[in-house]
Structure 1
Amino acid sequence: MDLFGDLRRMNKRQLYYQVLNFAMIVSSALMIWKGLIVVTGSESPIVVVLSGSMEPAFHRGDLLFLTNFHDDPIRAGEIVVFKVEGRDIPIVHRVIKVHEKGNGNIKFLTKGDNNEVDDRGLYKEGQNWLEKKDVVGRARGFLPYVGMVTIIMNDYPKFKVLMGAYVLLKRES
């Protein structure tokens, strides 16, 4: 479990090789993420459902794939992911009402399938409707429970430490 000892025993060429491999992995992941942003039109093309408010459509831990093409009209019944001013975490809920004005301006109201009331209580104070600018994306597909790892890591920070120790121990053996 002597990580620094392992690093000291490497010659410079091995160390550079390891650093370059790590940099390539990180940059590849970043390029894939940025490519998905461009292709989907969404600032966050993949999100994890964090609550049970959309059950039975989506469950906590489901991984959603989003698109956000601004030319597509928002319709009642569609599932959108939106951000509210003052909240860091986007919300996944269904559009229940849409108001279109003659000038093309659209306002809409959302609600979780498993909630009793609409989302007006979640919006910023004085806001009764969402607009297209609030939308992060629209659900186009999902993988059930794949995001549970993210939820476990956030809910149980000690799990991260245990996983890190496990990886280091496996590497040693």
Structure 2
Amino acid sequence: MDALGLSKLRHLKPRQLLSQVLNFALILSTAFMLWKGLSVATDSPSPIVVVLSGSMEPAFQRGDLLFLWNRNLELDSPPTPGTRVGEIVVYNVIGKDIPIVHRVVRKHQGPKTPLHLLTKGDNNHADDTELYARGRWYLDREKEVIGSVVGYVPFVGYVTIMLSEHPWMKTALLGIMGLLVIVQRE
């Protein structure tokens, strides 16, 4: 118990304890504000995602951290959005919560229709039509694509994968971080 610094918690005055809790809350709120600022700058609800499967190997491995940019609303772009065949996009299927990272293999756009995309994972044998919403053969670029991949950091996202596969680790990690903040101030 003493190794974690819990005995020091008992000796803190209420004002010191409140200061420690507020410092921890400040760290969390700063991280949240940075995330929201990045979301506004990239015009993407999720500017950073982690690759959760091997469907894009060898381009991306499980655990790679991807950086996204949503080219959907560029001011200088021609009438057709900048998505190209071969570009890697991240999309959310309506009714599912997990973003999917796959490559655009075909695009269609009529004079009065929105841009429709057909995607496929590099390591998959078939295209993604089975993953799309029922009755849909293409993705709607404006409604379902959350961004295009512009960069990545290999394997950094394994922490996220471990936390999602083992929920008890979230509680343990938050507890340890909280204790470290309190002990660090002493």
What is the TM-score when the length of structure 1 is the normalising length? 0.88
Query: Is residue 164 of structure 2 the alignment partner of residue 154 of structure 1?
Result: yes
Deviation at 1:159, TM superposition (A): 4.4
The equivalent residue for 2:21 is 19
The letter for the 2-side match of 1:156 is H
Identity across the alignment (%): 53
Consecutive unaligned residues in structure 1, runs of 5 or more:
none
Deviation at 1:16, TM superposition (A): 2.1
Aligned equivalents of 1:97, 1:137: Cα separation in 2: 17
Paired residues, number: 172
Greater mean deviation of Cα atoms: 127-136 or 70-79: 70-79
Aligned equivalents of 1:165, 1:46: Cα separation in 2: 25
The equivalent residue for 2:153 is 143
Deviations 1:142-166 (A, max 9, x none): 0000001111122233544665687
Aligned equivalents of 1:113, 1:121: Cα separation in 2: 16
Consecutive unaligned residues in structure 2, runs of 5 or more:
74-80
Deviation at 1:54, TM superposition (A): 0.2
The letter for the 1-side match of 2:87 is E
Q: Assess, with a 3 A threshold, how the Cα gap between structure 1 residues 138 and 24 changes in structure 2: closer, same or farther.
A: same
Q: Secondary structure at the match of 2:15?
A: helix
The letter for the 2-side match of 1:152 is M
Deviation at 1:169, TM superposition (A): 8.9
Q: Assess, with a 3 A threshold, how the Cα gap between structure 1 residues 96 and 149 changes in structure 2: closer, same or farther.
A: same
Aligned counterpart for 1:95 among listed residues 101, 104, 118: 104
Query: Is residue 138 of structure 2 the alignment partner of residue 129 of structure 1?
Result: yes
Greater mean deviation of Cα atoms: 3-12 or 85-94: 3-12
The equivalent residue for 1:81 is 90
Greater mean deviation of Cα atoms: 17-26 or 91-100: 17-26
RMSD over aligned Cα, in angstroms? 2.5
Deviation at 1:93, TM superposition (A): 0.4
Query: Is residue 124 of structure 2 the alignment partner of residue 115 of structure 1?
Result: yes
Q: Secondary structure at the match of 1:110?
A: strand
The equivalent residue for 2:52 is 50
Greater mean deviation of Cα atoms: 62-71 or 40-49: 62-71
User: Contact 2:55–2:124 at 8 Å: present in 1 too?
Assistant: yes
What is the TM-score when the length of structure 2 is the normalising length? 0.82
Aligned equivalents of 1:161, 1:34: Cα separation in 2: 24
